[in-house]
Structure formats: C-alpha cells, structure tokens
Chain A
Amino acid sequence: MELIIRIYFGLMFIAIIMFAFFVILFIKNRKLLFYSPPVKNYPSVSFLVPAYNEEDSIANTIDHLLDLDYPKDKIQIIVINDGSKDGTKKVIQKYVSKYKKVILLDKPNSGKADSLNKGIKLANGELIAVVDSDSFPSKDSLKKIVGYFEDFRMSAVTSFVSARNSDNNYLSKIQAVEYLLMGWTRKLLDFIDSVYVTNGPLSVYRKTYVKKVGGFDPTSITEDIDITWNLLSHNYKTGMCLDARVSTIVPTTFKQWFRQRTRWGLGGLQALFKYRSIFFKKGMFGVFVLPFVSLSIFLSLFGFFFSLYLLMKQLFSSILTLIYSSSLGASLFHFNLFNYYPSVIIFYLILLFISSMIYYRFILIKTGYMKKLSFKVFSRIVFYTLIYLMIYPIVWVVSIYRYVVKDQKW
C-alpha cells in the first residue's frame, strides 16, 4: 500500500473513532441530555460581570440577571468596570442606585481574570456565576444549573450558548450552527467528566474551590479555559447543563471573528503548555482531556497541511501541464486522458460526510434550532463542514505564531 493511502486510512480511522465515540456517548445517555438535577436548597449566587467598553449591551445583561427566576434574596450582582473609556460606568451606576443587590466595582483596566479575582473578594454567594457583559442568560438558566452542585465534587457548571445575533449575516449564521454543535459535544463530554471549557457567557463555580486553586490566572488570555483545567487538575468535577441557555453576541466581521478565534487558540496553547506535566496522569483530565485536545489540534493541522500539499501538488502539475502544452502548441486538455475512476477513500469520505450531515441535522432539531431541515439550513451545515472546518486550521497556525512571539493582545 502506498504511503499516501496509509496516511489516508490512518486519518480515516481516527475520524471514525471520534465520530463513533460521540454517537455512542449520545445513544447511551440520550435520556439524560436535558436532565437537570433537582435542587433541595437554593444556594446563594454572586454574579460577576466584568465589563470593558460595553455601554451598548451591559444594561441588557443586567436586566436579564435581575429577571432571573431565582429567589431574589439569594442573588448578588457585581458588575466590574474594568477601566472602560465609554459610558459603561454611568449605565451601571443607574442600576446601582436603583437595586441594592447590584454592586459596582470600579477599577483601572487590568484584564478579565484580574477583574474576576477582585470580584470574588466582594462576593458573598456560595457560588459565583461569571457572565460576559454581552451575554444574556435565559430566565430559568440558573435554576437548571445549581442542582449540579448537589454533588460536592462539582466545581463548575457551564451553560448552552447560542448566537443572539444569528440573523445578522452569513458569518453569524454559521457561528449559530457551530455554537449548537459545540454545546452538544460539550454535553456529551460531561458524561465522561471531561467538560474542558466553562464558557464566558455563563458559567457557575463553587467559590471555595475556585479560591482553593488560586482563582483566575491573570497571565492567561482565556481565563475560562485555564480555570476549568486548573479545577480538573485538582480532581474536581466540571459539568454542562444543556437546558441552561444563554445567548451571546457573536462576531459579525471576519476580522473580529479571526481575532476572537486566535485568542481562543492562543489560550488553549497556553493551557496545554501550562498543564503539560499532567499528561496521562490524574484521571480523565490527564488521560483523556489533554491528549484529546492535543490530538484534535494536531489532526486539524496535519489534515490541513496534508490536503493543502496534495491540492498544491495537483494544482502545480496541472498549471505546468497547461504551460508545457501551450509551449508545444498542443491542446490544453484531452478528456480521454482524464482519470475518473474514484478510489475507495472517496467512498469513505462521502460516507463520513453523509453520516455527519445526518448527525448534525439530528442535533439541530433536538436543540430546537429548527423543526425540519430547510435547504438554507442544510447549505449552512454543508458550508460549516466543508469550508469553515477546513479553513479553521489557519486559526491554529496564527495562534501558534502568536504563542511563539508572545502576542498577548486581546
């Protein structure tokens, strides 16, 4: 067997393992997907809302928190103005003067992680809930989450994020699909104690455990990844509640999107490097999460460069054929010289693609994104699978570059 065929089969084998892994996890736990553990006593919760230049959205976020279906005396809302240069502080002050439970922590700009650490010092809740200032938790989201903390080992529980501005343009529509698939996958990982990101839009933490592990790391560009890994590395549990919904504003320009994704990528690399000594140690985190994340990055990059290599090889030889044909004054193409017999690999790829489409369709219906598959949504899924995911490794390349040159810009 030729080397290229062996590589193809190797990649295909790993892709099938990953696909089968998630499908089996789903089948086995399908009745528990939307399950939220019942709450005996509602714990007190301190919301931490770090804000930097968010005058347009911060009021809406605070309104959503005030409107939550949760015992009012058990809630504290700490809005941290991280040295905003716009009217964010004024907006917060209006709420502070109107609601006792809303507290303003005004401080010079020092980043999100530091803002959260300062917020924790003021928090009087048993749990702390981190909410991004451009995110909007649904009314029952907190109620659905707190039940998970009946398990004393549970340190953090994250929510199911959707794109609020999904109809803005095609990029936001694609991200809407992506967020649903990410949330679904994260929930499946919950069944093997491997939720490795507690997202910024809404995640709830047990305050004592966060304090025990040293709080949020100000040197990390993605404090949400870092704190999750820190908690996991201390053998605490993390979870995900698929029924706790939060909407967030997603980037609408390619530039914003790329910046955001390279920041996530950079944060992931920082975390991988920071926790590298735990590889294959300390339960699911070392044995599964770290190798899984590393393998995903490696395969994404390898698959990208391998495909790029083959594509370029084909492209260059075709261009050279055109050049040499025209220099000989010959026809540029002869149909009878064209090889159109597909290989087995092509059948495999088509099978994997069709299976993915069926699986994605199922997820989008189950999560309430659509009732039945329309052509428009189908085209989005196809675009997401064939284009978006294929070019995503470029984000990793730039993230690695940013990591190497120590570019820590938000």
Chain B
Amino acid sequence: MVTLFNKLVFLEAILIAVFLLGVGLLFGTYYENNRVSAISDLYYDYEISVSDIGYSFDILNNHNLSCKEKSKVVYDLNEEVYKTAVKLEKYDNSNKITPDLINLHKRYDLLRILLWENYINQKKNCGLKINTIVYLYKYRNPSIVTKGIQGGISNYLVDLDNKYPDDIVLIPIAADLDIKSLDLLMEFYNITDYPSVIINEKAVLKGIDELKNSEQYLVLNNELNS
C-alpha cells in the first residue's frame, strides 16, 4: 500500500504548481504592466508630438509664413513622430496577458489618424508639399499569408521612407481595431481589404503588384521645390 506520506505527493505537487503558476501570472502581469507603462510614456511623447504638429500648423497658418518654412518645421516634427512610432512598434506583437496593450494600440492608432488628418488639412489649406503614405494593415490574428504579405510591404515602405526621408510621411494604422473614424475613412476610400496603401489621398494600392508602381504617385523633393 502507498503510505499517506507518499499519497500526499499528488496534492503537494498540485499546490506547488498552482503557487508557481500564480507567482508566474503575477510576475507576468507586473512585467506587462511595466511594458504598458513604458508604452504609455512613449504614447505621451507621441501625443505631445502630434499636438505639437497640430499647434505648429495653426501657428504657421496664423502667421503667414511661407510654405517652405512650414515644410521645414513639419519635417522636423515628422522625424520625431517616426522615431516614437518605431519604438512603439517594438513593444508590440508580443504575447498579451492583459488587454491594456490592445487598448493602447487603439489609442495611438487614433493619434495616427489625427496626424494624417492634420497633414490632409495642411496640404489643402497651406499647400504643404509632402507625400502621405498611409499603410492599413491587419493587426488581429493575421493569416500566415497576410503576415508574409504585410512583412514584405513593411520592408518596402521602410525602404521607400529611407530613400526619400524628406518627402514622405509614413503612417501605419491597424485597420481592424474597430475604430469608427477609421472605418469612415476606409469607407470613403472604398477599402474593404487590407493590407492597403493610400498614397497622397488619391491612389489606393492593394496587393504586392499594385504597390510595385507606388513611386509614380509620389511628388518628389525636386518637384516640390520647383
């Protein structure tokens, strides 16, 4: 007969496992919260940058500065926003224990929409000459093929951004996070599938083949200055 001393092993093992798993979950939550707070800090930087751009545009418009001067300010701000966005991306895509990360992602996607809107307004009102490339991608559970396509498009757009750093503002936005303002914009551009790329609010490119010709939709620096 197995002694009670040894029979208790089953119970003890379960209790230890529950304890260790509990500690792990607590640690995991703490770890993610730290990550969330790190993202929050970045988010605030991002928010400040976007607000800064918005106010800068207002100030520039109200003080009748030339578009060349306006452009210079926008390029500087754009660079700052881009760096923050890259940092934010690095925290993304990892495992999620708490829903906070998804909510944060939603928030900074909203800011990106605001940024895009600011650029659109400035292009219209001030004649700002910059190329906006909005990249709408699938964030939630993309299929293997979609992930592969999105990886390829990301590499391509980053290359493009590196090639024309002064002419392009790249705005990646998760398209499937149920953001109503984004849904409205997508309806306006007649976008039902993603990944899709909108260049200068005119060309909507879907799929790899259409993206190959993307450069023809760009208005480059030498043309901007002419």
Contact = CB atoms under 8 A, between A and B. Distances in A.
Contacts of A28: 5-6, 9
A13 interface: yes
Contact of B90 (A17, A29, A320, A339): A339
Interface stretch (A134-142, A310-318, A369-377, A390-398): A310-318
A321 B21 contact: no
A344 B24 contact: yes
Given A5-B95, A20-B16, A340-B90, A321 B10 contact: no
Contacts of B16: 16-17, 20, 24
Interface residues of B, number: 47
A344 B27 CA distance: 8
A409 interface: no
B45 to A, nearest CB: 17
Given A5-B95, A337-B158, A340-B90, A16 B148 contact: no
Nearest to B20: A16
A331 B157 CA distance: 10
A38 B8 CA distance: 28
Interface in B12-26: 12-14, 16-17, 20-21, 24-25
B95 A343 contact: yes
Contact of B96 (A2, A284, A329, A340): A2
Main secondary structure of the interface of B (DSSP, over half): helix
B155 interface: yes
Given A323-B152, A337-B155, 19 more contacts: A9-B25, A20-B16, A25-B9, A284-B2, A316-B148, A320-B147, A324-B149, A325-B155, A327-B212, A328-B211, A328-B212, A329-B156, A330-B156, A338-B90, A339-B92, A339-B93, A341-B35, A341-B91, A345-B95
30 contacts: A5-B96, A12-B21, A16-B17, A17-B16, A20-B13, A20-B20, A21-B10, A24-B16, A192-B9, A316-B148, A318-B151, A320-B148, A320-B151, A321-B148, A327-B152, A328-B153, A328-B155, A329-B212, A330-B159, A331-B155, A331-B158, A333-B155, A334-B154, A336-B158, A337-B154, A337-B158, A339-B92, A343-B95, A347-B31, A348-B24
